[in-house]
Amino acid sequence: MSILQVGRLEPQLAELVEQSHRPLLLPPPGPDRARFLAEHGNAVTVVLASGGPGLDDELFAALPRLGAIVNNGAGVDNIDVEAAARRGIGVSNTPDVLSDTVADTAIGLMLMCLRRFGVADRYVREGRWSADGAFPYARDLTGSVVGILGLGRLGAAVAERLQPFDCTVAYHNRRRVEGSPYRYAESARELAQSVDVLVVATAGGKGTEKLVDREVLAALGPQGYLINIARGSVVDEDALIELLSTGALAGAGLDVFADEPHVPAALRALDNVVLFPHIGSATKRTRRAMAQLTLRNLESYLSTGELVTPVVPPASS
């Protein structure tokens, strides 16, 4: 029985894992990987994953005894969950423990975009306050209409934080959330058309790829702001850049990108965009909690064959 590590582990998780396990490390694609899988593939029963592509049916086929993928992160868009389900492979993630911290990040991005705090900071540092006079007026978050695309754990945490700002909240999901106090929109476009700020908090993966397309962004309009704390794949990045550059969209706050860590120069050049290096959950407390939950899933599977926080595969169409 062997544990296979795929991707680079967070330091806190690596420290916990090394105390009781010595996982094998999957080499990068190429001849070394093929040789490694031929030698060790039949012994692997658990994959310990931490981001990165390649957790697909081709890899699963080379691991005939694989029973579980333990993922350090809430998102599982780097894992072919449907292929895993077909082979009877369980998948776990780290939900809940990072929702509060990422929701805090969303509020920070909203404030920085609407109040232009980052631009104001540069205004002072560049000596423009004394040279050019008072900083131009910005917009209030208080009293805004905010749409949340994906009212799951994270989206609900964002909505809760908006209440002290006296914001009106609306949302779009594949299905209505029973008992939700917020207005439901039938589509992403309808939601975007009716709000000042659109927060993307949905899961990544094939089912949501470019869900926020040119039409949705155009519906948000020249007074609208996009906040993305989900996955870069959910937003049509080329369309976003075009609309921001032409004034068809007021601004954006982005913690995630289509090809991380590579951020297009066109985005970096825009002054109406706030850019974070995917730090939504990057606090010591949260990353420690994620590492501990990942280890709990690993230990539980090794001892009982059960995962603590299993991911439910999508229903077959």
| CATH number of the domain that residue 208 is part of | 3.40.50.720
Residue 147 located in a structural domain: yes
User: What is the per-residue pLDDT for 1?
Assistant: 67
Please state the pTM of the whole predicted model: 0.93
Looking at the fold, whether 263 and 118 belong to one and the same domain comes out as yes
Same domain, residue pair 297 and 155: no
| Same domain assignment for residues 136 and 241 | yes
Backbone phi, psi, residue 308, to 5°: -75, -45
Query: In terms of domains, do 56 and 164 share one?
Result: no
Per-residue pLDDT, 313: 80
- Please state the rounded mean pLDDT for residues 226-245: 98
Q: Which residues are catalytic?
A: 231, 260, 278
**116 and 265 co-located in one domain:** yes
Please check whether residues 208 and 83 belong to one and the same domain: no
Of how many residues is the chain composed?
Answer: 317
Q: Judge whether 311 lies within some domain.
A: no
Q: How confident is the prediction for the chain on average, in pLDDT?
A: 95
Residue 125 pLDDT > 90, yes or no? Answer: yes
Three-state secondary-structure class, residue 140: coil
Residue 317 lies in a domain: no
The percent of residues above 90 in pLDDT, for the chain, comes to: 91
Q: How far apart are CA 179 and CA 58, in angstroms?
A: 42
Report pLDDT digits (tens) over 269-303: 999 999 999 999 999 999 999 999 999 999 999 99
pLDDT tops 80 at residue 53: no
Q: What is the average pLDDT across 4-15?
A: 92
75 shares a domain with 171: no
Give the pLDDT of residue 96: 92
Q: Which residue has the higher pLDDT, 226 or 205?
A: 226
**Per-residue confidence at 219, pLDDT binned at 50, 70, 90?**
very high
Structure tokens at 144: 């805004």
Q: Given this model, what pLDDT does residue 315 score?
A: 60
The Cα 278–Cα 261 span in angstroms is 9
Q: How far is CA 126 from CA 9, 120, 123, 131, 132, in A?
A: 39, 10, 5, 9, 11
Residue 145 has pLDDT above 50, yes or no: yes
- pLDDT higher than 70, residue 152: yes
Q: Are residues 175 and 228 in the same domain?
A: yes
151 with 269, same domain: the answer is yes
- Tell me, what's the pLDDT at 55? 94
The answer to whether residue 313 sits within a structural domain is no
Do 105 and 40 have their domain in common? no
Bridge partners (DSSP) listed for residue 69: 47, 91
Residue 104 lies in a domain: yes
- 121 in the same domain as 52: no
Give 312's pLDDT tier (boundaries 50, 70, 90).
confident
69 domain residue, yes or no:
yes
221 in any annotated domain: yes
pLDDT tens track for 85-123: 999 999 999 999 999 999 999 999 999 999 999 999 999
One domain, residues 66 and 140: no
Structural domain span for residue 216: 99-275
pLDDT of residue 317: 38
pLDDT value at 144 more than 80: yes
In a domain, 129, yes or no: yes
> Does residue 56 register a pLDDT over 60?
yes
pLDDT band at 205 (very low <50, low <70, confident <90, very high): confident
Domain count, the chain: 2
